[in-house]
Homo-oligomer: A and B are copies of this chain.
Amino acid sequence: MFNYASRFDFPYPEVMEALSTRAIGRAAVRDELARIALPRFFEDGFESVTFDDLAAAAGVSRSTFLRHFGSKEDVVLYVFDPLGDAISGVLASRPTDEDEWVSLRRAVDPVVELLTRDPGAGLALISLVWKTPALWSRLHEKQGSWRPAIADLLAERAGADAAPILVLRTRAMAALGCLMVAFDSWVMGEGSDDLAALTDTTFGSLAPADSTT
């Protein structure tokens, strides 16, 4: 099953911050609730599972479950939460003189790695997301929230002669979009393709252009 202790074994420790005792406990409970909930969604479909079902399965009250996750979508997409910071972290660590588009491709590796680590589980998750419009939307919303930090990092590393921020925001959008299109293909091929290779292909379809037309 999908690994939910993402906060504890996530391979990019620099994105973790100091947590109070209670915050650690809280995160652990969230992990546990999500771990219990996911199979229910996989088996019955996102819409068919109610908060009552989830609470019963987890042995807590509906109130408690709702307090840990503000919405059903949050339960499923919980695993994506740390990826924004992970992407930024990798991007910040790339050499300044590396080609921008290559750095962006590398920045997205944590996502590919997380979904590929457990064969089957990652695909099951993305398949669920892709067959459920509400989840697809919310994932894209989350992805959109990662953009500003990425664009800012691109500006920072380019220094004085950086392209306008609008240009950099566009490239951040494109990079994350390439990842999403790769997911799309991965789901359509039912996992028969290699996600990293698909991502290479989508990134290879585009390139930054000089905006001084």
A residues at B contact (CB < 8 Å): 133, 136-138, 140-141, 144, 163-164, 166-171, 173-174, 177-178, 180-181, 184-185, 198, 200-202, 204-211, 213
Contacts and interface: CB of A to CB of B under 8 A. Distances in A.
Contacts of A200: 213
Contacts of A206: 170-171, 174, 206-209
Contact of A185 (B166, B171, B177, B205): B166
Contacts of A213: 200, 204
Closest 8 CB pairs of A and B: A137-B137, A207-B209, A170-B205, A167-B205, A204-B211, A170-B202, A173-B177, A137-B141
A205 B211 contact: yes
Contacts of A171: 205-206
A contacts with B: majority SS: helix
How many copies of this chain are found per oligomer? 2
B170 A178 contact: yes
A26 B138 CA distance: 31
A177 B204 CA distance: 17
A205 to B, nearest CB: 4
Interface centre among A141, A170, A208, A209 (most CB of B within 10 A): A170
Contact of A174 (B140, B166, B174): B174
Contacts of A164: 201
A136 B137 CA distance: 9
Interface centre among A144, A173, A180 (most CB of B within 10 A): A173
A201 to B, nearest CB: 6
Contacts of A144: 136, 140
A51 to B, nearest CB: 19
A31 to B, nearest CB: 25
A131 B167 CA distance: 22
Nearest to A198: B166
Interface centre among A164, A168, A181, A202 (most CB of B within 10 A): A181
